């Protein structure tokens, strides 16, 4: 199940245009805020596909049967770039438990690297809905290895992968290696460059949000 939000035009196109614009990117606060806002839109779209139950709510004038979330998801992000997108989800899924995975590219030469997972903090994900959050789905390997690390905490009932921008190769990698996952992407770009950055993409999301490392 693949959902690409920009297949239909909406306000998300405006936010993405600002994220990509090299002139606007210099304003870190604006960049972070746009990522959070897109995260909220993605969270809303994801919420349409989560199970709900009917509960009785007492109003001042009577009883209303309301449809509410059946389960509280676990929100997992790949540090550090995933923090702002994670916040957008947390603004909407505000009762969620949260998990954090540190994964980074360890370069062996100018154009080759391996993905290293150094740290994980997570509650049990056994039989729970797991939402994996990383703003840039380039090769897909960081997302997959973060997921593999989280499986030490149990087997989720449902897996949802969320990104701002993905490459076509990254989407194909997740579909091949995580066929059980639903994928929600704001936009999909056509290719990767020789350094495995998404083209046209927006650059390094972590550096743009938090400063160069």
* 199: CB partners within 8 A, 6+ apart: 167, 189, 190, 191, 192, 193
- The CATH number covering residue 166 comes to 3.40.50.2020
Q: Are strands 113-121 and 97-107 parallel, antiparallel or unpaired?
A: antiparallel
The pLDDT score that the predictor gives to residue 113 is 55
Model confidence over 57-90: pLDDT tens digits?
999 999 999 999 998 999 999 888 889 999 999 9
Query: Which structure tokens are listed for 118?
Result: 């150094």
pLDDT value, residue 25? 93
Q: What is residue 145's predicted lDDT score, i.e. its pLDDT?
A: 87
Q: How many domains would you assign to the chain? A: 1
Show the domain range for 92.
2-210
The predicted structure's pLDDT at residue 22: 95
**pLDDT at residue number 110:** 59
Write the pLDDT tens digit of every residue in 127-140: 999 999 999 999 99
Phi-psi region of 26 (alpha: psi -120 to 50; beta: other; left: phi over 0): alpha
The pLDDT value recorded for residue 129 is 97
Q: Which helix (H) or strand (E) holds 92?
A: helix 82-92
pLDDT of amino acid 104: 63
* pLDDT score for 81: 84
All residue ranges of the chain with pLDDT < 70 are: 104-116
Which has the closest alpha carbon to 102: 134, 56, 66? 134
Tokens 């550096």, residue located: 207
Instruction: Name the pTM for this structure.
Output: 0.89
């Amino acid at each position: 199940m693949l959902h690409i939000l920009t297949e239909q035009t909406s306000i998300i196109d405006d936010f993405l245009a600002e994220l990509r614009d090299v002139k606007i990117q210099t304003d870190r606060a604006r960049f972070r805020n746009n990522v959070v806002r897109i995260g909220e839109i993605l969270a809303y779209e994801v919420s349409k596909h989560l199970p709900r139950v009917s509960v009785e709510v007492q109003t001042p004038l009577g009883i209303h049967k309301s449809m509410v979330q059946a389960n509280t998801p676990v929100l997992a992000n790949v540090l550090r770039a995933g923090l702002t997108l994670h916040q957008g989800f947390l603004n909407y899924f505000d009762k969620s438990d949260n998990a954090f995975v540190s994964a980074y590219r360890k370069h062996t030469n100018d154009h080759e690297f391996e993905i290293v997972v150094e740290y994980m903090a997570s509650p049990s994900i056994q039989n729970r809905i797991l939402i994996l959050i990383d703003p840039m789905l380039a090769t897909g390997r960081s997302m997959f290895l973060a997921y593999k690390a989280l499986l030490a905490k149990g087997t989720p009932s449902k897996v949802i992968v969320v990104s701002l921008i993905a490459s076509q190769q990254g989407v194909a990698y997740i579909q091949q290696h995580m066929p059980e996952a639903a994928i929600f992407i704001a936009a999909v770009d056509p290719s990767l460059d020789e350094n495995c950055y998404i083209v046209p993409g927006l650059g390094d999301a972590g550096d743009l949000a938090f400063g160069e490392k």
